[in-house]
Amino acid sequence: MTPTPATANRHALSVARDALCVMLLVYLLCIAGILTRPLGLLAAFWPANAVLLGLFVRRPRLVGPGGWLGATLGYLAADLLTGTPLWPALWLTATNLASVGVSYLLFRPLSYDDRRLRRPQAVMLVFWICAAGAAAAALVGTLLAPALAGLDFATSTLSWFTGELTNNLVVLPVLLTAPTLSLRAILPRQPLLRLQQIVRSASGPALTLAASVPATLLIGGPGALAFPVPALLWCALSFSPFTTAVLTALVNAWQMIAVTLDLLPNLAVEGSPQAIISMRLGVTLLALGPITAASISATRRETLRILDHQLNHDSLTGALTRGALLKQGAAALTQLMPHQPVAVLMLDIDHFKRINDHYGHATGDHTLAVFAATIAANLRANDLFGRLGGEEFAIIMPDTTPARAQEVAERLRAQTEQAHVQVAEGRAPLQLTVSIGVAHQMPGHTLPQALALADKLLYEAKAAGRNRVRSNAAPTADHNQMALAQM
């Protein structure tokens, strides 16, 4: 179908916008890299290629005419505006594009988890991809490097290769592991508590890492480049892969600049290209350790999280199991102040046995899943919702007044009435109802006692005709409290 003029205009505008954004980003990154370029040598730190590659991997929409055009213009503008003649600028641009292009083609077959470094094996895959991109840059760049720096063929080839490989492995993991920004991530639910947790868990590895960097400058020597490794490994076991990648990138970028500019004492580089190449390669290989350890640690944490969820949640409804509800409920209640109210709700689907007998267990299971989803959607994040067995569920609501609990229970009852369960084709959907008992925990009484009272109130609701809410805050509360005292 032939695109309309409006569609063509929107496409052209999108291409132009992509080209402009990529061009500005590449230009600024190239300028930053050129500022670290010693006379006669390659830049000590060149982040432009790695950032462009990471952007293309994370945002494939940019991999089009606009993205490649913008990158080309950004590379050219940075070199031309800093005094590089046109022909060398064109060749340097081709070198940069060759590195990004080859690496991106090799990234395409990788799975989403591998592109995000969510498997330990992915770190080595990214290493070989970066090595292939660095080799492509070396093949193109060595034809120009002798004219620029007066280096022999072997030295210029190794210089291009190690420089490109190091820059990619330092910067790229940061972009691949970067989380998607969200308001919840920026503004946590309990910012002060979250800040305390971060300070408590981060202080040890962060202080150790901060101490290792000055030690590198004070002691010097070839071994100084490995001083931050133990601290980075500690960070890898304590932080997320993204945080570890950021810290590793900062340390390694500083090391590359220090090596190239001969800032470390007793290193004996003295502008030797061979020594700089060796040091760069050493920095590159050291960077792999913390990132791999962070990936392994993150995989382990995710596996434990999945196992914990499977252990503590009902597989059919997603609600907490009975044991998990009692354990987490007791823990939540111990954290409350004595004057803070707690509500315990007991819920039972009306006529569930009839649904099972008449429509079969598959429909019964679906009914439980629909009911649980309806209830969970109407609760707060700190409310605990669990399945006690069969069609009976319970909710523990910390810091909830009797009036608020009654209001929530009525809303849950009304929402359940609106939930429909589809059965066989051509038959009317099932309409659910629920009976709810609401107990308010009183000083000196345990969670099991409150659950027992809520269960008693639940059966009072069923005896009154079902699809009802009964609470010990109602006019009959005195009778219910006496019953609880006798338990």
Amino acid type, 238: S
- The backbone region for 36, taken as left when phi is positive above 0, alpha when psi lies in -120 to 50, beta otherwise, is alpha
Provide the pLDDT for residue 314.
93
Provide the pLDDT for residue 423.
78
Q: What are the C-alpha distances in Å from 258 to residues 50, 195, 199, 293?
A: 20, 33, 30, 25
d(Cα 68, Cα 70) in Å, to the nearest integer? 5
Catalytic: which of 164, 302, 391, 425? 391
Tokens 């046995």 -> residue: 353
d(Cα 54, Cα 29) in Å, to the nearest integer? 13
Per residue of the chain (487 residues), give pLDDT as tens. Answer: 455 666 656 766 777 888 899 999 999 999 998 887 765 556 777 899 999 999 999 999 889 888 899 999 999 999 899 888 888 889 889 999 999 999 999 999 999 989 998 888 899 999 999 999 999 998 888 876 555 455 677 777 887 888 889 889 889 999 999 987 654 554 555 555 555 666 666 778 888 888 888 887 777 777 777 888 888 998 888 888 999 999 998 888 888 777 766 677 766 655 566 777 777 788 778 888 898 999 898 888 888 999 999 999 999 999 999 999 999 988 888 877 667 788 999 999 999 998 888 888 888 999 999 999 999 999 998 899 999 988 999 999 988 888 999 999 999 999 999 988 887 666 778 889 999 999 987 655 678 888 999 999 999 999 999 999 999 875 444 334 334 444 4
d(Cα 471, Cα 464) in Å, to the nearest integer? 13
Tokens 């998607």 -> residue: 180
* Nearest C-alpha neighbor of 35 from the set 44, 22, 26: 44
Instruction: Supply the pTM of this predicted model.
Output: 0.70
407 a catalytic residue = no
CB of 119 within 8 A of CB of 295?
A: yes
Burial pattern 148-165, b for ≥16 Cβ within 10 A else e, equals: bbebeeebbbbbbbbbbb
Domains and CATH numbers, the chain: 5-178+192-310 (no CATH), 322-485 (3.30.70.270)
CB of 264 within 8 A of CB of 273?
A: no
